[in-house]
Amino acid sequence: MAVDRPHFRLSDAERAEALDALAEHVRTGRLDLTEYEERSALVSAAKTRGDLLPAFEDLPDPRPSVLASARPPDTARPAAPPAPSVGQRLSAMAVPAAAVIAAVLFFTVGRFGIFVFVIPIIVALAMGMITRPRR
């Protein structure tokens, strides 16, 4: 694992960040006190970014930000969801349209009564059967 620009010198703030990261590993139980003392001595004596790498090469996050570019990404980017098919888009438009038509029929043609609201249910079921993936 290569550090980005390993010859760059460290600042006091970067050393302090590295010591904080080591302390977090002690708190989580990844390091015991003896290992912490050894690694913190290494970090305190470090002059360049490359000098920090041995103290963190076998530890997960948290790591100092100067070593962040050296790590490969742990997870791949999630794939984009597939675009909806024509049937799915048609289904998404048909059900609300059927509900609007049922409401218009209910208020204008009164003789069908409440049964006009069965229309959106029938359309939703039909669209579900049409757009369902085949096995």
Q: Give residue 116's pLDDT.
A: 82
Q: Is the pTM of this model over 0.85?
A: no
Per-residue pLDDT, averaged over 10-18, amounts to 91
Determine if residue 97 is left, alpha or beta; phi over 0 gives left, psi from -120 to 50 gives alpha, anything else beta: alpha
Q: What is the DSSP letter of 132?
A: S
Mean confidence (pLDDT) of the chain: 82
Give me the residue label for tokens 């970067």: 14
pLDDT tens profile 107-123: 888 777 778 888 888 88
Give the whole-angstrom CA distance, residue 17 versus residue 31.
Answer: 17
List, in order, residues 6 or more apart from 85 with CB less than 8 Å away. 131
Q: 96 or 129: which carries more pLDDT confidence?
A: 96
